[in-house]
Amino acid sequence: MKNIILNLFKLNYFFVIIKKVLKRFEKNTSEEAKKWAKLNAKFTTEEFCKLIDLQLYNEILSDVILIEKDAKYRLSKLNVTLGGGGNFILLYFLTRKLKPNVIVETGVAAGWSSLAFLRALNKNGKGKLYSSDFPYFRLEKPEQYIGYLAKNEINKINWFLDIRGDDVAIPEISKRLGENHVDLFHYDSDKSYSGRVKVLENLNSKINSKTVMIFDDIQDNLHFKNLTEKMKEKYCIIEFNKKYLGVIGINFLINDRYEIR
Ligand SMILES: C[S@@+](CC[C@H](N)C(=O)[O-])C[C@H]1O[C@@H](n2cnc3c(N)ncnc32)[C@H](O)[C@@H]1O
């Protein structure tokens, strides 16, 4: 509680924290969203990756085992508990498969996803990661932990991290992208419906028909369901750690023979 109050008084955090509190009053559609996600979740991470590229999946296994080992070791050196990570196997796999020039992610926390992206970009020999985050205000001096797992990566020069919160960071990232568009997008920050809508609005001009987008925790509300209806694109839902993530924009990756929506 002490840390929450101290962080609240940092002027640049004040408005983000107040917005977060207000978002708690948004309509709760989690029950319907969870039911829909569960019904439409057809693959595990492994099945999904193998469907796209069996050989690549087998190739990356040793890399993802090392990512997990390194991350767990570094986390064991900390005396605070940081939140859980995203589906680093899927993120590593898709980065190796798509060989993106530009990745944008929202939500860094300890940095499982950032670590996976940076390692895969390093292996690809090209590409840049743009990340947006906001400090966990329940911790003392929370800024020091953001991206902790990825901070030693040798190619972190290809990493732009903005921790002012999505409302500020995403327009900044969009400006930095200039004429470039986003090849791979991972949403794992503010889980509210309005937070997701706002980020997509702010990044809209940088997203095109080839952008592959991954949304974590789609069981929290109906945003992903509504997005699939609006975009009329193939999508896939994967169960991960008893939660669901949605991947959309995969038309060009998936052979029509497969039963993906
Ligand atoms: C689930 S964690 C991200 C996990 C990370 N992707 C990983 O794989 O390790 C969510 C992160 O989003 C951040 N966050 C929450 N609201 C945010 C906002 N409005 N803008 C930016 N980041 C936000 C949280 O502080 C936290 O660091």
Q: What is the CATH number of the domain that holds 95?
A: 3.40.50.150
84 in a structural domain: yes
Regarding predicted confidence, which is higher, 142 or 172?
A: 172
In this prediction, residue 211 carries a pLDDT of 96
Question: What is the residue-averaged pLDDT of the chain?
Answer: 91
**d(C-alpha 67, C-alpha 142), whole Å:** 23
40 in a structural domain: yes
Q: Sheet containing 159-162: which strands, arranged edge to edge?
A: 41-43, 235-240, 243-248, 212-215, 184-187, 102-106, 128-132, 159-162
103, 151, 188: which to mutate for ligand 1, most atoms within 8 A of CB? 188
**d(C-alpha 219, C-alpha 223), whole Å:** 9
Model confidence pTM above 0.85: yes
134, 201, 214: which to mutate for ligand 1, most atoms within 8 A of CB? 134
> What residues are paired with 81 via a beta bridge?
none
Q: How many domains does the chain have?
A: 1
Q: What are phi and psi of 130, to 5 degrees?
A: -115, 125
Question: Which protein residue has the closest C-alpha to ligand 1 atom 3?
Answer: 107
Residue 259 CA to ligand 1 center (angstroms) comes to 32
Asked if the model's pLDDT at residue 258 lies above 60, the reply is no
Q: Is the CB of 85 under 6 A from ligand 1?
A: yes
261 in a structural domain: no
Q: Using CA of residue 176, residue 178, residue 184, residue 185, what is the dihedral sign?
A: positive
257 in a structural domain: no
97 in a structural domain: yes
- Give SS3 for 87: coil
Cβ(93)–Cβ(60) under 8 Å? yes
Q: What are phi and psi of 251, to 5 degrees?
A: -50, -45
109 in a structural domain: yes
Give the tens place of pLDDT for each residue, 70-94.
999 999 998 888 877 899 999 999 9
Give the tens place of pLDDT for each residue, 181-224.
999 999 999 999 999 999 999 999 999 989 999 999 999 999 99
Q: Which domain holds residue 121?
A: 2-248
Q: Is the CB of 109 under 6 A from ligand 1?
A: yes
254 in a structural domain: no
Q: Is the CB of 41 under 6 A from ligand 1?
A: no
Residue 144 CA to ligand 1 center (angstroms) comes to 14
In this prediction, residue 8 carries a pLDDT of 59
- State the CB neighbour count (10 A cutoff) for residue 54: 10
